[in-house]
Structure 1
Amino acid sequence: MESKRRRVVRSEGRQMIASVYHFLKTEYEFTVNFKEPNCDISHLRNIAKRTAEATGVSERTVQRILKEERDLPSTSSRFLSPMRNRRKRESKVHIDGLTADVVRSTIQEFYIVLKKIPTLAKLRSDLNEKLGFNGCLTTLRTLLRKLGFMWRKTDNNRKVLVERHDIQILRLQYLKKITEYRSQGRPIVYTDESYVLATQDRKNIRFIVVHAGTYSGFIDNACLIYKANLATGDNNSNMSFENYVNWLNNKLLPNLPDRSVIVLDTASYHNARAEKLPTTASKKSEMQQWLTAKGIQFDSNMRKVEIYDIIKKHKSNFIAYKIDNYIKSKGFEVLRLPPYHPELNAFENIWGVLKNFVALRDGEQNMNDSDTEKLIHEGIDKITSEIWHNTCNSIIKKEAEYMKYFDTEFEFITNLQDDSNDETDTEDDSNYDSS
């Protein structure tokens, strides 16, 4: 028997159902008082049932709405639509630098060492040993997709999971660039923003920490610590393009070594476009003006869809970001981490050291905001240049391992075996753009 999907009754509908109930109740009470002798009105007695029949919902829904009405603060209060204020359920799949690193290195081992294509079952078994991963195959598929893998059908109509081509290209470009910069002796400056949870009055308070560091250690005077607006949520929601530029101006850029290369991740405030590019929603005249300004040839008699097809072929060459342009105007270079590769940012390990230090000391005494900031600064001071050396050396080793992959004849493929009910994605060869 096919199950019925629960119907969501929004605020206006809930108000209407309550009004119908009260109308029928008033009608019944009036009839009771003025009915003729021997007149049977028993069929009018079940007001909730009549309301349900009149409005097309269940009696249980009617009773629930009436209870909600009784709980309203006042008679003038309005019903709220269900689920409107419900917090979005957090994903069960959390990807940090360690997880991403272990997953990719495990897949690499299958190709480079074992010369085999891994199955989901074998991959899950290995990840269970290395990470304690105890998720099901569906959870593992979700994890792989969040790391930039996608479904693709083979010639024999089997489904395999492959790493997106654009992710591979961006990783290769990044590895070549950072190797080139290191060979030139240019300082590689990692930057990142994270949060530290502190306990105050039995509540978790979130403090945002912004910093930068190199192989030698933290950049002097570049640390920024401030209390977040919310106790929970993504730390990126507390940072904006303007705030980030202020940090660059006042904290980072004045203290950087000459010829530094600043490594940025794909946070949204890093991706503010320097120029708005045409989209399918743009007017035909706007598309023509853009092509003319860029010196790209087109036929004025072309239709809009044909003009946009030309734009798509050249669009990626003109993607530029405000942050990149600003940093370059100050005499420094920008290198963007490939998406889904947090393990290539030194701060993945550095933040872990800091958070562990704060967690061990937090709660020892009643702390206010000033005490918490002092504790965070103390934790930063405990992260020595030796820790930075080891962290950066580990990343350089990881970069070399990733380069080995490009010397093989394989691409990252995970065999789904006979799992024919998997969700299928279409391959997207367009450049990654999170803005």
Structure 2
Amino acid sequence: MSKRKVVHSEGRAIIAKVFHFLQEEYNFMKVNNSDKCDLSPLANVLKRTAEATGVSERTVTRILKEEKELPSPSSKFTSPMKKRRKRDSKFMLDNMHREVIRTTIQNFHISHKQVPTLAKLQSVLREKIGFDGCLSTLRSLLIEMGYKWKKIDNNRKSLQERHEIQLWRFNFLKKINQYRSEGRHIVYTDETYVLTSHVRQNTWCLKSKDPTKKDTSFSKKLSTGSRFIIVHAGNSSGFIKDASLVYKAASTTGDYHSNMNFDNYVKWLNEKLLPNIPEKSVIVMDNASYHNTRSSKIPTSNSCKSDMKKWLMENNIPFDERSRNIELYDLIKKNKERFVTYKIDEIIKSKGCEILRLPPYHPELNAIETQVTKSGLVVVPEPGL
């Protein structure tokens, strides 16, 4: 069956005008037909309109019906594409699923000794996390996560992490080894959530002997129940005493990080964590947005010239007073990394402690991910950014 051609608003307006023109032509001929000529070929205006415009009679009928429903004669036809519901984004994957993607790529290289092509990844991820995106969607997701295509020695292509991600991981491991050799107290922190009606995705069920019948199995509730946010910290001895924070979230949808903000996190730091750890401790945390609230605003390319000059002067960066905005911003862009500071860092350092941020999508470097409580509950938080 051929796909129906979409007639846009301008085309539908023209078809309607052709119909009315031919109708008026027929009516005029009918009234002034003094010599009684045969007007039957002109009578079927609907058919003539369809032949003249190259569409079906059904389409002409539909357009005329739509014209009658317009608010006024001067109203325009609307584009049919505007009425269509946009397809849901395939990027609504939480951080745990993203970590599964990263681990899968590593296993292709390390365990299976294979090149992780998009088709192979799509097949594995469809089974592991139910990924239903196309190859183009998967490619965009991998680029967003820091991967790129790169030629290898045999002229085939392989997925590899960007240099800055590799360097971040290298620096993290180097720094934490230094802190350990100094005998520093290392504290791992993270946030996660639990749903009150949470159940596992899989279960044991009795396999049916009759191939025509389904296996007997349980069903889970559609409602996820309430969501509770859990914030905690731990070290080599277990969870930090009196450092836990549990509260009911306002929403049960989306990434759980949206239920935490900068103010709540600072309150937890000041009241729960920092009073219960020794001085000179090293606090390991991920890169959630509320961990990276900047202390001062850095001018952007859209900032006014006076703000750019003020920032450059405050940071003792020489510039020409006659410079234009684009030149000033180029100076800011080249130097801003040296002056980026975060409010969380200042709070932690004021208490005599240090902060160490995890590389993006590396929860396996955060020891609290597999901490076990005395009750035997395994807490496996969603990986941080």
Relative to the length of structure 2, the TM-score reads 0.63
Q: Which of 280, 303, 307 in structure 1 is aligned with 2:324?
A: 303
RMSD: 5.5
Tell me whether 1:214 sits opposite 2:234 in the alignment.
Answer: yes
Q: Which residue of 2 aligns with 1:107?
A: 109
| Structure 1 residues 194 and 343, CA gap change in structure 2 (3 angstroms) | farther
What's the CA shift string for 1:224-276, capped at 9, x where partnerless?
231342x3321122222233233334443343444332222122222222222
What's the CA shift string for 1:33-63, capped at 9, x where partnerless?
xx8599767444589979x969x99966995
Give the superposition deviation at 1:92: 7.7
Give the superposition deviation at 1:316: 0.9
Q: Which residue of 2 aligns with 1:318?
A: 339
Q: Which of 247, 251, 267 in structure 2 is aligned with 1:225?
A: 247
| Structure 1 residues 349 and 186, CA gap change in structure 2 (3 angstroms) | closer
Query: Given residue 218 of structure 1, which amino acid in structure 2 is its aligned partner?
Result: F
Q: Which of 342, 345, 357 in structure 2 is aligned with 1:336?
A: 357
Contact kept in structure 2, 1:96 and 1:343, CA below 8 Å: no
Q: Which residue of 2 aligns with 1:359?
A: none
Q: Which of 201, 207, 224 in structure 2 is aligned with 1:204?
A: 224
Query: Given residue 382 of structure 1, which amino acid in structure 2 is its aligned partner?
Result: S
Give me the whole-angstrom Cα distance separating, in 1, the residues matched to 2:7 and 2:345: 47
Give the superposition deviation at 1:98: 5.2
Give me the whole-angstrom Cα distance separating, in 2, the residues matched to 1:185 and 1:58: 82
Structure showing greater radius of gyration is 2
| Structure 1 residues 119 and 277, CA gap change in structure 2 (3 angstroms) | same
Contact kept in structure 2, 1:288 and 1:307, CA below 8 Å: yes
Q: Which of 115, 138, 156 in structure 2 is aligned with 1:119?
A: 115
RCO (CA 8 Å, sep 6+): is it higher in 1 or 2? 1
| Aligned length in residues | 336
Contact kept in structure 1, 2:233 and 2:273, CA below 8 Å: no
Q: Which residue of 2 aligns with 1:162?
A: 160
Tell me whether 1:346 sits opposite 2:347 in the alignment.
Answer: no
Give me the whole-angstrom Cα distance separating, in 2, the residues matched to 1:98 and 1:193: 17
Tell me whether 1:194 sits opposite 2:193 in the alignment.
Answer: yes
Is there any run of 5+ residues in structure 1 with no aligned partner, and where?
A: 71-78, 354-379, 392-433
Give me the whole-angstrom Cα distance separating, in 2, the residues matched to 1:276 and 1:8: 50
Identity over aligned pairs, percent: 37
| Structure 1 residues 225 and 287, CA gap change in structure 2 (3 angstroms) | same
Contact kept in structure 2, 1:124 and 1:133, CA below 8 Å: no
SS across alignment from 1:279: coil
Give me the whole-angstrom Cα distance separating, in 2, the residues matched to 1:17 and 1:179: 71
SS across alignment from 1:205: coil
Tell me whether 1:151 sits opposite 2:152 in the alignment.
Answer: no
Q: Which residue of 2 aligns with 1:266?
A: 287
What's the CA shift string for 1:82-140, capped at 9, x where partnerless?
35676434568973545534533653579xxx8xxx63369959x96xx9799998787
Greater mean deviation of Cα atoms: 317-326 or 200-209 = 200-209
SS across alignment from 1:107: helix
Contact kept in structure 1, 2:187 and 2:281, CA below 8 Å: yes
Query: Given residue 226 of structure 1, which amino acid in structure 2 is its aligned partner?
Result: K
Contact kept in structure 1, 2:184 and 2:282, CA below 8 Å: no
Give the superposition deviation at 1:187: 2.9
Relative to the length of structure 1, the TM-score reads 0.57
Query: Given residue 191 of structure 2, which amino acid in structure 1 is its aligned partner?
Result: D
Q: Which of 158, 169, 177 in structure 2 is aligned with 1:179?
A: 177
Give me the whole-angstrom Cα distance separating, in 2, the residues matched to 1:275 and 1:90: 31
Give the superposition deviation at 1:334: 1.7
| Structure 1 residues 262 and 239, CA gap change in structure 2 (3 angstroms) | same
